[in-house]
Homo-oligomer: A and B are copies of this chain.
Amino acid sequence: MAAQVQRMSRLMVKTLRDDPADAETLSHKLLVRAGYVRRNAAGIWSWLPLGKKVLENVTRVVREEMDAIGAQEVLLPALLPKEPYEITGRWDEYGAELFRLKDRKGAEYLLGPTHEEIFTQLVKDQCSSYKDLPVILYQIQTKYRDEARPRSGILRGREFQMKDSYSFDTTDEGLAESYALHREAYIRIFRRLGLDHRIVSAVSGAMGGSASEEFLAPAAAGEDTFVHCPSCDYAANTEAVTYVAAAPEAVDHPAVELLDTPDTPTIETLAEHLGVPASATLKNLLVKVDGEIVAVGVPGDREVDLGKLADHLAPAQVELVTAEDFTGRPDLVRGYVGPQGLDKVRYLADPRIAAGTSWITGANEEGKHARHVVAGRDFEIDAYVDVVVVEDGDPCPKCGTGLKLDRAIEIGHIFQLGRKYADAFQLDVLGQNGKPTRVTMGSYGIGVSRAVAALAEQTADEKGLCWPAEIAPADVHVVAAGKAVQIELALEVADQLAAAGLRVLVDERPGVSPGVKFTDAELIGVPTILVAGRRSAEGVVELKDRRTGEREELPVAEAVARLRGV
């Protein structure tokens, strides 16, 4: 099967020598400079010919592996009626992230950010018996999210390509199996794409459900942080890390002692005033949980992750307190709160505030702190909550080794949703026992356009993009140095390679210097560069490996044979 030869002189690709002014990440810079994508508006991008080829290659791999696990491809609309999202409450929950619009009759619609509701309705309509299940449905589709800060090029767009799939089972075991099928398919997909990735535990957040893992592609440009253990196989989204507190040594602590600490309303000022490390102090953050003031105690050197706290307390609404909340509350002395005086306030604490540990904390009096305040002796903890921001070196919950913190791009996510959506839509099928059985669901996503950016991030070097073979826009980039004999040879080799089924890009642009052509070839990042250069008259070409830079001169026939073997 002869593949096509694409001539650079005809291809709409305009390479740039300089990075676009607004680009921060490597993939953004290079994909724009190499002419793969072009920005239309904030977070809204066009895929140009080279970019479309790469996107299509990623799509093909995803489709093949989804088909391989028996998933059935469908295509649902992106423009969706409001009603199903009202039923689940997500019409409101999504907040400003949802693109909403009205049609000519005033009916309300949204642009789908994810399709759980619509798939649930679909299966309710199509499946009536346990015999119709399990079923896995997927689509590769344009999705919409009105990100507050669309940036990093196609890494985080407002319109983007996603593979989303949904599994429907009658039993928990069935769901576990559908989940496992996806997990394996995702591993195969990311391996084929050449994406270095980690599978980490994740909290499922607003999606609800039980088991959930993220597929992360480590990359400096990543917006996600994850931890992994250098000693064991533990890895997790930072929001999912759990802290296992060691039991403190039994120590006879002195009695509580009051300290005069004027003008020390913050941990920094307090630690400096007393000449102690921040970790010796106990910080008490006040928040409102469904309007009720609650205190959260963490060591003074740690930060509370408000997202984690919100997830922990969901569905309750969590807000920070404001100055007004202190009026009429003489028990709450702003900047000098200590748990030993909080009789009327629920007290949550980090597991590090274990019973028997001793702290310097507020004395509930303006300008005063207290030391030797011992958990369990001087104050009670209503509940332990794991809500501090994870830091490099925190102990691995599996083996205790210091965890490493790294940045990554989320490229996939698999969820065991359970019956949340099935409950919302009363999705039952007739069970084997003849009774209606509530269906249990999974939801699984791959950021297809984001995977392109992640691949670019992981594989690019200082010269430009550097695609893995299966994803590259071509197999071989043939460069004709410039003279007639070189151009002739380049076109001839290109035809031979195409006849052998290889996808070939040939740079035969007249009037473009060899230097520019070489630079462009390295920027565009096709795995093999074949140069018809100074030995063209002898029929000798140069093969260059884009990644390693290794070069070799070979007669044409040998070069073609070598590439056919690839």
Q: A residues near B, CB below 8 A? A: 4, 9-14, 35, 38, 40-41, 44-49, 51-53, 55-56, 67, 70, 72-81, 96-97, 99-101, 103-104, 107, 109, 111, 118, 122-123, 125-127, 131-132, 135, 137, 142, 144, 146, 148, 158-159
CB atoms of A40 and B76 under 8 A apart: yes
9 CB contacts below 8 A, A to B, read A13-B126, A14-B126, A40-B76, A40-B81, A44-B81, A47-B74, A52-B73, A52-B75, A100-B101
- Complex: chain B residue closest to A71, CB-CB: B49
Complex contact B46–A76 (CB within 8 A): yes
Q: Which of B70, B77, B135, B146 interacts with A44 by CB under 8 Å?
A: B77
Residues of B within 8 A of A81 (CB): 40-41, 44
Q: A12-B74, A14-B125, A79-B111 are in contact. List 6 more A-B contacts (CB 8 A).
A: A38-B125, A38-B126, A45-B77, A100-B101, A103-B146, A142-B142
**CB neighbours of A111 from chain B (8 A):** 79, 101
A4 to B40: give the CA distance in the assembly, Å: 40
- Please tell me which one of the listed residues B72, B79, B96, B146 contacts residue A11 in the complex, with CB atoms under 8 A apart: B72
Give A95's nearest chain B residue, CB to CB.
B104
Asked if residues A118 and B78 are in contact (CB atoms below 8 Å), the reply is: no
Chain B nearest Cβ from A443, distance in angstroms: 17
Q: A159–B101 Cα gap in the complex (Å)?
A: 14
Chain B nearest Cβ from A18, distance in angstroms: 15
Decide if B99 touches A74 in the complex (CB within 8 Å): no
By a CB distance below 8 angstroms, the chain B residues around A135 are: 10, 12
Rounded to whole Å, the gap between the CB of A145 and the closest CB of chain B is 10
* Complex contacts, A73 vs chain B, CB 8 Å: 49, 52-53, 56
Given A14-B126, A118-B40, A146-B104, A49 and B77 contact (CB-CB distance below 8 Å): no
Nearest residue (CB) in B for A111 is B79
Cα separation A137 to B100 with both chains bound (whole Å): 31
Closest to A157 in B: B77
Nearest Cβ distance between residue A4 and chain B, in whole angstroms?
7
Q: How far is the CB of A154 from chain B (nearest CB, A)?
A: 11
Which residues on the B side are within 8 Å of A118 (C-beta)?
A: 40, 46
Determine the chain B residues whose CB is within 8 A of the CB of A77 once the complex forms.
40-41, 44-46, 159
Q: Are A75 and B101 in contact (CB under 8 A)?
A: no
Contact A38 B122, beta carbon cutoff 8 Å: yes
Complex alpha-carbon distance, A525 and B148, angstroms: 48
- The residue among A12, A14, A45, A56 with the most chain B CB atoms within 10 A of its own CB is A12
Contact A55-B79, Cβ < 8 Å, known A14-B126, A104-B96: no
| Contact A40–B80 (Cβ < 8 Å) | yes
Do A75 and B104 touch (CB < 8 A)?
Answer: no
| Bound: A132/B44 CA distance, A | 25
- Tell me if A49 and B67 are in contact (CB < 8 A): no
CB-based contact A137/B12 at 8 Å: yes
Q: Min CB distance, A94 to chain B, in Å? A: 11
The reply to whether B103 and A101 contact each other, CB–CB distance below 8 Å, is no
- Cβ B72 vs Cβ A47 within 8 A: no
* A148/B75 in contact, CB under 8 A: no
Q: Given known contacts A47-B75, A118-B40, is B12 in contact with A126 (CB within 8 Å)? A: yes
Write the nearest CB–CB distance from A86 to chain B, whole angstroms.
Answer: 14
- The residue on B at minimum CB distance from A125 is B38
> Complex Cα distance A35/B72, Å?
14
- Given A12-B72, A78-B142, A135-B12: A101 in contact with B99 (beta carbons within 8 A): yes
Which B residues are CB-close (under 8 A) to A9? Answer: 131
A109 CA / B14 CA spacing, docked (Å): 27
Distance of A45 Cα from B118 Cα, bound (Å):
11
Partner pick for A75 among B4, B55, B76, B123, CB 8 A cutoff = B55
Expressed in whole angstroms, the Cα–Cα distance for A486 and B125 within the complex equals 31
- By beta carbon, the residue of chain B nearest A83 is B41
Q: Which B residues lie within 8 Å of A67 (CB)?
A: 4
Q: Do residues B99 and A79 form an inter-chain contact, with CB atoms below 8 A?
A: yes
Give Cα A107 to B72, complex, Å: 38
The distance in angstroms between the C-alpha atoms of A12 and B122, with both chains bound, is: 10
Q: Determine if B46 and A75 form an interchain contact, defined as CB atoms under 8 angstroms apart.
A: yes
Chain B residues with CB under 8 A of A55: 75
A142 cross-chain contacts in B, Cβ below 8 A: 78, 142
Q: List the 10 shortest-distance A-B pairs measured between CB atoms, nearest first.
A: A101-B101, A47-B75, A96-B104, A49-B72, A41-B81, A46-B76, A44-B77, A14-B126, A79-B159, A104-B146
Contacts of A74 in B (CB 8 A): 12, 46-49, 51-52
Contacts of A11 in B (CB 8 A): 72
Max count, chain B CB within 10 A of own CB: residue among A45, A47, A79:
A79
A56 to B: closest C-beta gap in Å: 8
Nearest-CB distance from A447 to chain B (Å)? 16
Decide: B72 and A104 in contact? CB cutoff 8 A.
no
Are B158's CB and A79's CB within 8 A?
yes
Assembly CA distance A172 to B487 (angstroms): 31
Cα distance A41–B102 in the bound complex, in angstroms: 13
Query: Is the pair B47, A12 in contact by a Cβ cutoff of 8 Å?
Result: no
Name the contact of A104 in the complex, choosing from B40, B131, B132, B148 (C-beta under 8 A).
B148
Chain B residues within an 8 Å CB radius of A132: 12
